[in-house]
Amino acid sequence: MGFKRLEADDFVVSAQAQTATCWTNNAPVLTTFFTRSSQEIAESGKYYIAVYNVDQNQAGSQAQFEIAYGNIDGYGQLAYNQPAVPNVSPASTIYGQYRSLVLEDENGSFVFGGVTGSSIYAISVERAAYKQSLFPGSLNVILTGPTNQQVTLTDDSNMVNVPTYYGTMRAYQVISGSDGFSHNSGSGGTGYTEKSGSYGLFLPDIGTILLNGDALDLSGANGGISLDTNVTPNFNGENSQDLLRCFQSGSSFGLNSEETITSDFVFIRARNSEFNYSENPSYISGSTGEVIYNYFINNPQTYMTSIGLYNDSNELLAVAKLSKPLNKDFTKEALVRVKLDF
């Protein structure tokens, strides 16, 4: 017997979540932050700056995330065509882009912990780095402002039973704390600032963290880092570069990705009367058609080394290799579990 049809109860489907760091070389925490001057002066530098793990002249330099500054009024960036189209700038483009993506409303505004924010900093993790989504509760980042005011930020995923949804997109508030819990500072122990709501939105399904510029601009006494976002109309405030320096001074950005691995388990059962005769051509004499070795006549046995899975057209779909040969004869039955990951 060379083939045996599998039954429905031979299949079991399982889904398991796997997490891993987002950063190159499986670094658990990103501690160094570099940019490339060629990108900053290029046209794309008006909209975002890419942040790398090591200097561009070193081996292994790879982009980890991007920083983009947005403002609902277009302030803090040079306008495209001032005064003909006043204050329409890369800053208003970035704000509008994320407003449409997240809020699905071209006229909406971002609300952070109940307070409307006018300035945002979008932290977008490299797509290949976070696989399916970011892992809630894994955000731990230290930002140090220009006057050495410091805050440690996380998301509030471990403090809420159900996340906020924008369409089908999950959203958590960014708060002062670590590992998904607040440090019991701010408004009512929520980890918010006293005056500007939360520090932003954690959007795991699109690999993005929106930081609330108004919250970061607050003094240390009010929960901010005195970032001093430049909101001068028609002026290049270099706000993305200022936030980058806060990452560099803080020297600690931990973040994990999450991926659901779907596995099919196939249970292969060989009863005592099955698969005891080898189909290897060397088992049978080519001239006489008889078993070459006499002891196989009274005690036929085989050694299972691999299992092939076929469809109804006898097309080979998958091969499972055993770690070592498995002896099979009329006195033994075998049960082999094959795992297929997708």
Interval 74-122: pLDDT, tens = 999 999 999 999 999 999 999 999 999 999 999 999 999 999 999 999 9
pLDDT at 128: 87
At residue 139, does pLDDT exceed 80?
A: yes
Residue 117, CA distances (Å) to 124, 144, 210 in order:
19, 21, 11
63-71 and 119-125 strand pairing: antiparallel
Cα 169 to the center of its chain, rounded Å: 14
33 or 130, higher pLDDT:
33
Q: How far is it, in rounded angstroms, from Cα 46 to Cα 94? A: 10
- pLDDT above 70 covers a percentage of the chain that reads 96
pLDDT at 1: 47
At residue 41, does pLDDT exceed 90?
A: no
Q: 25: helix, coil or strand?
A: helix
300-316: average pLDDT: 90
pLDDT at 188: 62
Cα 40 to the center of its chain, rounded Å: 26
Ramachandran quadrant class, 82 (left: phi over 0; alpha: psi -120 to 50; beta: rest): beta
Phi and psi angles of residue 217, each rounded to the nearest 5 degrees, phi first: -75, -20
Helices (H), the chain: 37-41, 90-98, 127-130, 213-216, 239-250, 295-298
Q: How far is it, in rounded angstroms, from Cα 286 to Cα 204? A: 64
pLDDT at 3: 82
At residue 324, does pLDDT exceed 90?
A: yes
Per the CB < 8 A criterion, the answer to whether 175 and 164 are in contact is no
Give the confidence band of 262 by pLDDT, cuts at 50, 70, 90.
Answer: confident
Reported as a single tens digit per residue, the pLDDT across 156-201 is 999 999 999 999 999 999 999 999 999 865 556 789 998 999 999 9
Peptide bond into 83 cis (omega under 30): yes
Residue 67, CA distances (Å) to 92, 317, 333 in order:
15, 45, 60
Tokens representing 159? 């403090």
List the chain domain ranges.
Answer: 8-16+261-341, 23-254
Q: How far is it, in rounded angstroms, from Cα 316 to Cα 225? A: 61
- Amino acid letter, residue 228: D
At residue 301, does pLDDT exceed 90?
A: no
Give the confidence band of 143 by pLDDT, cuts at 50, 70, 90.
Answer: very high
Range with top average pLDDT, 3-7, 43-47, 230-234, 297-301: 230-234
Q: How far is it, in rounded angstroms, from Cα 18 to Cα 286? A: 52
pLDDT at 94: 96
Q: What angle do CA 103, 106, 107 make, to 5 degrees?
A: 95
Phi and psi angles of residue 22, each rounded to the nearest 5 degrees, phi first: -85, -10
The single residue listed with the structure tokens 């508030």 is: 173
At residue 207, does pLDDT exceed 60?
A: yes
At residue 280, does pLDDT exceed 70?
A: yes
197-225: average pLDDT: 96
pLDDT at 185: 53
Per the CB < 8 A criterion, the answer to whether 265 and 292 are in contact is no
Per the CB < 8 A criterion, the answer to whether 133 and 17 are in contact is no
At residue 39, does pLDDT exceed 90?
A: no
Per the CB < 8 A criterion, the answer to whether 171 and 165 are in contact is yes
Q: How far is it, in rounded angstroms, from Cα 307 to Cα 132? A: 31
The CA-based diameter of the chain, rounded to the nearest angstrom, is: 99
pLDDT at 135: 96
Residue 228's nearest CA partner among 314, 312, 124, 147 is 147
pTM of the model: 0.78
pLDDT at 186: 52
pLDDT at 187: 57
At residue 290, does pLDDT exceed 90?
A: no
Q: How far is it, in rounded angstroms, from Cα 138 to Cα 130? A: 12
